[in-house]
Structure 1
């Protein structure tokens, strides 16, 4: 029975071709079929150090005003060669078609845009996140299938991602994923997520690289996620 339930998410993930630049709950790149709680907000922030000696500082605030529509607006500043500038400005909307339940599955829709002020270009993307819960939420699989329109290239790429959350302890999770953005080999990422205050304050750390790149495109990241109680009107 368990094997059959794993088959659908695997087919969804590997039957596609490539992943959009949107993010799920830190530290995953592959998005999940979940939203911030109704009338609540969160802020996801992280620092990513790249192999090329550049450092990215990200902050993505999100709010759920209606109960089934999560809006995100944020971006990144990047330090490279002694210069720091805004390199990404992201806006996204996300909704659910079916809510994820314990030992069940959920699916949603998301779309957004990322502007690159330094290069004066803009990308657009959309995707379908699907999540599958096993063993009373101790293992959750996430798949993404979508498309990314790269403004600078004037080309559209199919996108995909596959991620797993596995509970190691009461407040600690192991994150593993593989995803593809644009052309070239897929990327992989491995990390840990730990709740300092359950459902309110989370820290995480990851290591990632492109498959077969011998470490040339590797990165490490450290993140902080803060969630609020319901307070919006």
Structure 2
């Protein structure tokens, strides 16, 4: 989100379907998909030794509740298998506005079908807070949360800190660090570009764990957003 070596919370889940700081960031923002609209975030991620294919559709049916359901397939030499499943809800207490701040709450359930994951469905919740400057040209996001690892039967603190900076027109720079418990943090740097403003976005990232060069990864993503169409 690392999406196989970390629980989904620190990957997509911070991941997940949100309106603007979604792909390519893992750190979530205090925004949701527009009312009565949907989005699909998809990407290919290449850590060492395997390739991951992700898809996270999300819709906002009621106006202030974004629902995300999706997962990942992982390809190794031995074949392709389902490696992640996720269901999440997200709401806002204060929507983020330009030159202001926003606050929300997200909670969900995640599952890694692999036997090495320990079994069970992990539960998580986190609070995304966002702060905007210079008419949204610079936005800072923070996440603090909780993760219940059912397989290990333990609770863990989760966190994220990220920023998005408008470089020029439709192109943005993303930088973040995030992690859980006492584990060494992960860092990620990426670019986002709107092919069609607010409708079609592409992105690319590079990431690694601090002090662990063997855990680096690359990703390429595509994000599609619809206008309002739901009844």
For residues 180 and 50 of structure 2, what CA distance do their matches in structure 1 show?
19
Once the two structures are TM-superposed, the CA of residue 171 in structure 1 deviates from its matched residue by 0.2
Structure 1 stretches of 4+ moved >6 Å: none
Q: Contact 1:20 / 1:126 at 8 angstroms: preserved in 2?
A: no
Within 5 Å, give how 1:69-88 maps onto structure 2.
69-88=65-84
Q: Which segments of 5 or more consecutive residues in structure 1 lack a partner in the other structure?
A: 1-18
For residues 101 and 129 of structure 2, what CA distance do their matches in structure 1 show?
7
1:50 aligns with 2:69: no
Task: Give me the CA root mean square deviation.
Answer: 1.1
Q: Contact 1:20 / 1:127 at 8 angstroms: preserved in 2?
A: no
Match in the other structure for 2:60: 64
Q: Contact 1:148 / 1:182 at 8 angstroms: preserved in 2?
A: no
1:105 aligns with 2:104: no
Q: Deviations over 1:44-94 (max 9, x none)?
A: 00000002x111100000000011000000000001233110011100000
TM-score, with normalisation over the residues of structure 1? 0.89
For residues 195 and 184 of structure 1, what CA distance do their matches in structure 2 show?
34
Change over 3 Å in CA distance of 1:20–1:220 after alignment to 2: closer
Q: Which has the higher contact order (CA 8 A, sep 6+)?
A: 1
TM-score, with normalisation over the residues of structure 2? 0.90
Q: Deviations over 1:153-172 (max 9, x none)?
A: 11111011000000001100
For residues 33 and 150 of structure 2, what CA distance do their matches in structure 1 show?
29
For residues 75 and 225 of structure 2, what CA distance do their matches in structure 1 show?
27
- Across the two proteins, how many residue pairs are aligned to each other? 213
For residues 98 and 197 of structure 1, what CA distance do their matches in structure 2 show?
28
